[in-house]
């Protein structure tokens, strides 16, 4: 999920990485950067230094590897970075939602900013029955639930509506930043402050600047 960036890598360990760990780490880096569809199994094998049969022993198909990547991404990006970063920054419940965009602002300015892996996966898979698409949708539901909890903690009148609006703001900001707008998080934060003011949250006016 360093607190100014998503924690993509495990702490350095003296123990040599196992074949599965090398596969997982390589797939994470390649899929995060290039998307799932663009990266073939042969590329993962070449970068991880394991035999193709070893990869297939752990992951019988590319879809299985992709699903493992998305689970890891949710654990590292959503939980270990975004949630922890927001809750570390926010002193009061009312501040958490806007702190999302403060965290995003630092993320967007990183030279290795890779955008949203779940949005990429969703757009790559048009078949609504595909397991990778299902996993991406489930992640959005998880993120919505987290945002709704933050909105409830802030005593928003309609926490579900705020959470859905916030998810749209977050997704739009990520795409805008990926297209080159480095101030996308700041712009989204301004819109978010207006939404919070409409909900009657006490800190919305002070947090707007």
- Indicate the pLDDT class of residue 117, thresholds 50, 70 and 90: very high
Q: If you ran DSSP here, which 8-state letter would residue 120 be given?
A: H
> Following DSSP, what letter does each residue of 55-95 receive, concatenated?
HHHH-SSHHHHHHHHHHHHIIIIIIIIIIHHHHHH-SSGGG
User: With 70 as the cut, is the pLDDT of residue 9 above it?
Assistant: no
What pLDDT, on a 0 to 100 scale, did the predictor assign at position 20? Answer: 96
> Do 50 and 78 belong together in one domain?
no
> Do 170 and 79 belong together in one domain?
yes
> Do 52 and 78 belong together in one domain?
no
Q: Which phi and psi angles does 62 have, rounded to 5°?
A: -65, -35
Give the span between the Cα atoms of 17 and 174, in whole angstroms.
32
Q: How many domains does the chain have?
A: 2
**CATH number for the domain harbouring residue 114:** 1.10.357.10
User: With 60 as the cut, is the pLDDT of residue 203 above it?
Assistant: no
> Can you give the residue range of the structural domain that contains 41?
16-60
43 lies in a domain? yes
* Contact indicator for 70, 139 with CB cutoff of 8 Å: yes
Write the pLDDT tens digit of every residue in 142-187.
Answer: 999 999 999 999 999 999 999 999 999 999 999 999 999 999 999 9
What pLDDT, on a 0 to 100 scale, did the predictor assign at position 94? Answer: 86
Q: Can you state the angle between helices 96-108 and 131-153, rounded to 10 degrees?
A: 130
From 9-18, 26-35, 127-136, 178-187, the region with the lowest mean pLDDT: 9-18
- Indicate the pLDDT class of residue 91, thresholds 50, 70 and 90: confident
> Do 55 and 102 belong together in one domain?
no
5 lies in a domain? no
Q: If you ran DSSP here, which 8-state letter would residue 8 be given?
A: -
- Indicate the pLDDT class of residue 199, thresholds 50, 70 and 90: confident
137 lies in a domain? yes
**CATH number for the domain harbouring residue 47:** 1.10.10.60
* Contact indicator for 41, 59 with CB cutoff of 8 Å: no
> Do 95 and 152 belong together in one domain?
yes
What is the gyration radius of the CA atoms in the chain, in angstroms?
Answer: 18
9 lies in a domain? no
> Do 90 and 133 belong together in one domain?
yes
Mean pLDDT of the chain, nearest integer: 90
Give the span between the Cα atoms of 77 and 160, in whole angstroms.
22
> Do 131 and 185 belong together in one domain?
yes
What pLDDT, on a 0 to 100 scale, did the predictor assign at position 202? Answer: 53
What pLDDT, on a 0 to 100 scale, did the predictor assign at position 3? Answer: 36
């Amino acid at each position: 999920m360093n607190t100014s960036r998503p924690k993509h890598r495990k702490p350095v360990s003296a123990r040599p990485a196992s074949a599965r760990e090398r596969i997982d780490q390589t797939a994470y880096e390649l899929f995060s950067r290039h998307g799932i569809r663009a990266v073939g199994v042969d590329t993962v094998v070449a970068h991880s230094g394991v035999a193709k049969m070893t990869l297939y022993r752990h992951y019988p198909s590319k879809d299985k590897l992709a699903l493992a990547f998305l689970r890891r991404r949710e654990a590292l990006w959503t939980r270990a970075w975004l949630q922890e970063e927001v809750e570390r920054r926010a002193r009061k419940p009312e501040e958490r939602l806007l702190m999302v965009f403060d965290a995003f602002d630092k993320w967007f300015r990183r030279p290795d900013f890779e955008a949203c892996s779940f949005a990429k996966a969703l757009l790559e898979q048009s078949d609504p029955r595909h397991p990778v698409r299902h996993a991406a949708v489930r992640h959005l539901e998880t993120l919505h639930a987290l945002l709704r909890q933050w909105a409830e903690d802030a005593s928003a009148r309609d926490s579900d509506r705020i959470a859905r609006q916030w998810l749209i703001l977050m997704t739009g900001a990520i795409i805008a930043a990926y297209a080159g707008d480095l101030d996308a998080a700041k712009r989204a934060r301004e819109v978010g402050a207006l939404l919070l003011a409409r909900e009657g949250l006490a800190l919305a006016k002070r947090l707007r600047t």
